[in-house]
Structure 1
Amino acid sequence: MSRFHKALNGLLIACPSVVLAGCGLFASPADTSSTPAFHNAAEWPPRIGPAGAGRRDVGPDEPVTVSLRDRDAGIRLTDVTLTDAAGRRLAGDLSPDGSRWRSTGSLTAGSRHTVRVDAEDGNGVPARWTTRFATASAGRTVNVTFGPATGTYGVGQPITAELSVPFGREKARARALVERALTVTSRPRVEGSWHWINDRELHYRPRNYWPAHARVDVRAELRGVKVGDGLHMGRARPVSVTIGSRFEAVTDAGAHSMTVKRDGKVVRVIPVTTGKPGFYTRNGIKVVLDKRRSVRMRGTTIGIPGNSPDAFDLNVRHAVRVTRSGEFLHAAPWSTGAQGRANVSHGCTGMSERNAAWFFENVREGDVVEVRNSRGARMAVFGNGYGDWNLPWATWHAGSALSAGPASRSAPPAPARLRPQSH
């Protein structure tokens, strides 16, 4: 009887209920003594590294090797699989003669791993041996903070991801690995893409607005997976977002009118006033950032001298904010004579107390507000709120590290510029 068949007989003694295919025998990579039936066999079980008797944790960057104890025994390795605790299979190369296997990628930090070795003798009789080991925790991790918080938002709400470690444009491969770890799923399914805003922040949006009443789940997978030198994916709290009805407010600054639609149906047409010369309201698509029952607005906070004819200091009611620099839609009872007729504000969209109260009660964060036919500049894509929808889809998608086009094609972040607030 060959030594290989003796080894297989030994396997049957160790695991009498398993025939030839073997059983799962678990140990650290260097501790084969837990399989006593094979301990004295010359050629089986194989050697599995990293070496080190009694070692429990393996460095995530250490290669795993599998080799035969006796290359002349007529045995050859037929397959080796290395998987982490999440079931992801790590890459490796098997030598042409079936005598050695070596992992080619990094292990998952802080995870249990399973090595399954399949072999056969010269007559094709198979055998299998399995072991498990644990890797050490990562020294440096990339933690992810998702936004917005779990809740209900409008159809224009982008998903945001803020990284604890920067990834410059020169780290294209690392950016791609990080992006693959960030998963957005929606019901119903839509086409969408991440876009790198800067070295630490990504935004995700669909090609078109989110479908009304959709559910969006955001999470980071691949925890412990290497994404750079000594750098592995770390913690990320998942987020679940519910999308409300499709609520859109479109202001025609030239006609001094705002048309409000819900799910495609016009529900209200509101006379408004927008920015006067020198304070023109920005054109473009904006997304509601928050709502405030009352906001104190002062011209001095944005550089208007207190003795200027444009100075103001007012408590404004029913304020809906659409830029970080202070553009709101709000009640402006002092300008009711101009609403629907002329543009007299300092950049905000003003309306009557009654219309502003209605708008405040019906709008939510993430809803879409668009301004057309103003003489103002275009809404900044990034840096002053969510101007994400002002980028064409092709340009947006090109800002993904996983797109076919280079990341350099994406629009550079635009700095926020303070604009005078309305009164």
Structure 2
Amino acid sequence: MPRAVVLGCTAVLATSALSACSGGSGAKADDGRGGAPAPARISVNLSGEQAEAGRPVTVELAEGTLKRVAVRDGKGGTLDGAVSPDGRRWTSTRPAAPGTSYTVEARDDKGGTASKRFATAKPEKINKLTLAPGKNATVGIAHPLSVVFDNPVKNKAEVERRLKVTTSDRTTGSWGWVKDYSGRDRVDWRPKSYWKPGTKATLKAELNGVDSGGAGGWFVRDYTTTLTVGRNQLVKVDLDAHRLTLLRDGAEVRSLPVSGGTPGGDKRSWGGTSVLMAKEGTINMRSETVGLGDAYDKMVDSSMRLTWSGMYAHAAPWNRAFLGRANHSSGCVGMGSEDAAWLFGQAQVGDPFEITGADTKGNPEAGNGYGAWNESWADWQGRSALS
């Protein structure tokens, strides 16, 4: 995006006669007889009404040392920052956001003050994002913190630096960039191993003022989401034995007869680890949406989504002759109606489904649902833009 950089108003504020884009000086000059302190003489790197966004604000003092600097926007927000060791320069820790007016106020060690105002150019394009899970969600032990962007992100490293994850138990994890099944850029934060039950995690996406790069546009706000990890449970699906087993705290809760995808073709089930993305209940399933022609169009109960490409665990009473005996579905893990309803009630969004079998389609891609668990920890770390 073209950026207009206005240099004419980057002025030194020395006396009460300030430049036209500056506020008034802090005080009259000391007359040598105990009068008010002389104004602070500062310069600010951004100035005018079309200043360049995405840069930190720097305030430099001509003489003496800085004691306080405050940078406020028109909505009451502030930019935090720090003074250099020599006391002559203050730099904000975050960049100036686009389309925002700022007021800079500074005080030096002699009590002199100065102020300045500037505004940044409005963005030509804005990038937004979607966070998962939703705020204050309770999830299973495999759910990542996931960010999907509306527009492409070229400056992945800069964006990733602004994504702050804190956990109640110092969980080790890493960001990894993937291509979402929708084709959009996505970045997920996955723990090294499954979450510990009871862990609380918060993601703060401090993106206001960050440029996506390329044609992606600017971020113009911050985002926050939180999660709490629920019960320690996982689902093991053995397609060779045609059984699904729910484990809680490592102990078997119940084992159910199932039927997976028909071997030998496109109807095979995915293997590896998928994460329960959503409990969708009764939904209409149509074969053409997953590339299987007009094979079926039916309402399906107790539907639990495992991938974006259409693999579910669900009730399949029409397939009762094959439950526990053979794999004869169009790719989903089907079970009896009562068994499916029971599992639907027990399962948590974020529970891992570990699926094994001699004839699967392999593991789903990391962006097809939450497939990060199919990669080694080292490979997942390698997806970070900061690795």
Q: 1:334 aligns to what?
A: 318
* TM norm structure 1: 0.69
The residue aligned with 2:261 is 275
**CA distance 1:134–1:389, change in 2 (3 Å):** farther
Tell me the alpha carbon deviations over residues 34-61 of structure 1, each in whole angstroms, 9 at most, x when there is no partner: 31144899x95443225999x8996655
After the TM superposition, which of the residue ranges 43-52 and 188-197 deviates more from structure 2? 43-52
The answer to whether the 8 Å contact 2:278/2:349 transfers is: yes
Could you say which residue in structure 2 is the equivalent of 1:406? none
1:326-378, CA deviations, whole angstroms, 9 ceiling, x for partnerless residues?
21111222333322222122211111222111111111221111111241122
Residues 216 and 241 of structure 1 are in contact (CA less than 8 Å); yes or no, is this contact kept in structure 2? yes
What residue in structure 1 maps to residue 343 of structure 2? Answer: 359
1:297 to 270, 275, 285: 285
In 2: Cα distance, 1:80 partner to 1:229 partner: 39
- CA deviation after TM superposition for structure 1 residue 66, in Å: 3.8
Kindly provide the CA deviation profile for residues 12-34 of structure 1, in whole angstroms up to 9, marking residues without a partner as x.
xxxxxxxxxxxxxxx99955643
Residue of structure 2 aligned with 1:221, choices 191, 206, 212:
206
SS at 2:343's partner residue? helix
Displacement of 1:252 in angstroms is 0.9
Letter in 2 for 1:48: I
Structure 1, unaligned stretches of length 5 or more? 1-26, 69-75, 119-126, 169-173, 404-423
CA gap 1:56/1:358 in 2 versus in 1, 3 angstroms? same
Aligned position for 2:334: 350
Please name the residue that 2:191 is paired with. 206
Structure 2 residue aligned with 1:388: 372
Given the alignment of the two structures, is residue 178 of structure 1 paired with residue 159 of structure 2, yes or no? yes
Q: Is the 8 A contact 1:39 1:45 kept in 2?
A: no
User: Partners of 2:269 and 2:46 in 1: how far apart?
Assistant: 69
Matched with 2:242 is 256
How many equivalent pairs are there? 348
Q: 1:83 touches 1:90 (CA, 8 Å); kept in 2?
A: no
2:362 equivalent in structure 1:
378
Given candidates 139, 147, 160, the residue that maps to 2:146 is 160
Larger radius of gyration: 1
Cα-to-partner distance string for 1:72-102 (whole Å, 9 max, x where unaligned): xxxx5456875645563267797xxx9x869
Is this contact kept in 2: 1:58–1:133, CA < 8 A?
Answer: no
Identity of aligned residues (%): 31
Return the match for 1:49 from 43, 54, 61.
Answer: 43
1:14 paired residue number: none
Measured on the aligned residues, the alpha-carbon RMSD in Å equals: 3.9
Query: What are the equivalent positions in structure 2 for 1:317-332 lying under 5 Å apart?
Result: 317-332=301-316
Residue type of the alignment partner of 1:208: S
1:295-346 CA-partner distances (Å, limit 9, x unpaired) = 333334444455xxxx334332222121122211112223333222221222
Higher helix share: 1
Task: Give 5+ residue unaligned stretches, structure 2.
Answer: 1-17, 73-77
